């Protein structure tokens, strides 16, 4: 079963631009590096050639990864109005049941997650625990640092 990637319109456009760049500009640059390295002679002891081939492998790997995402994505709709339960595309404000601190998180797909900017994936431990819950619900989840308990205090559009 193929994985479906949840993407915003913005992230979709970024991936399409990146793939275009990789297939045109970057692929040509790497091909030129390989051609130049071949001109240095014996390929069995040519570190420039090995490095260029490794770079080509990384390039093709990234292109395949993006093509896989673009072939298996679902576009996130905008979330607006009164939101009853947590879902991808919304913002959730939670209170830590241990120390009472409050944090607000955007729930996003894995391709857009950035914990440093409080954008958590729907597949992260906290993201999974929040999905489908409503304001006032207490959730708990396991993470590397232990078990945590939080209460949902607000759900809104991003």
**Domain spanning 5-75: which CATH class is it, in words?**
mainly alpha
- Residue 7: which residues within 8 A CB-CB, separation 6 or more? 15, 69, 73, 74, 75, 76, 109, 111, 112
- Mean pLDDT across 64-72: 94
Alpha-carbon distance of 74 to 12, in angstroms, equals 10
Of the pLDDT bands very low, low, confident and very high (cuts 50, 70, 90), residue 8 is confident
Of the pLDDT bands very low, low, confident and very high (cuts 50, 70, 90), residue 6 is confident
Res. 112: pLDDT tops 70: yes
Res. 79: pLDDT tops 60: no
Q: Report angle CA 76, 77, 79 to the nearest 5 degrees.
A: 115
pLDDT of residue 82: 65
Work out the end-to-end distance of the chain between its first and last CA atoms, rounded to an integer number of angstroms.
30
119 or 3, higher pLDDT: 119
CB 122 within 8 A of CB 88: yes
Question: 90-157 in CATH: which number?
Answer: 3.10.50.30
- Quick one: tokens of 12? 């979709």
High-pLDDT (> 70) share of the chain, %: 93
Alpha-carbon distance of 150 to 135, in angstroms, equals 11
**95-98 — which CB contacts under 8 Å span 24+ positions?**
95/150, 95/151, 95/153, 96/148, 96/149, 96/150, 97/138, 97/149, 97/150, 97/151, 98/148, 98/149
pLDDT of residue 78: 61
Residues of each domain in the chain carrying CATH 1.10.287.180: 5-75
Residues of each domain in the chain carrying CATH 3.10.50.30: 90-157
- Mean pLDDT across 63-92: 84
What pTM did the predictor assign?
Answer: 0.71
């Amino acid at each position: 079963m193929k994985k479906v990637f949840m993407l915003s319109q913005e992230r979709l456009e970024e991936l399409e631009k990146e793939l275009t760049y990789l297939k045109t500009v970057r692929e040509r640059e790497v091909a030129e590096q390989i051609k130049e390295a071949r001109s240095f002679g014996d390929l069995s002891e040519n570190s420039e050639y090995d490095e260029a081939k490794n770079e080509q492998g990384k390039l093709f790997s990234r292109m395949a990864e993006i093509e896989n995402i673009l072939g298996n994505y679902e576009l996130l709709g905008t979330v607006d109005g009164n939101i009853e339960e947590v879902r991808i595309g919304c913002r959730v404000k939670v209170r830590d049941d241990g120390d009472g601190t409050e944090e607000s998180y955007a729930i996003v797909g894995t391709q857009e997650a950035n914990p440093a900017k409080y954008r958590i994936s729907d597949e992260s431990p906290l993201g999974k625990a929040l999905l489908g819950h409503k304001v006032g619900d207490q959730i708990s989840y396991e993470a590397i640092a232990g078990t945590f308990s939080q209460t949902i205090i607000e759900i809104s559009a991003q």
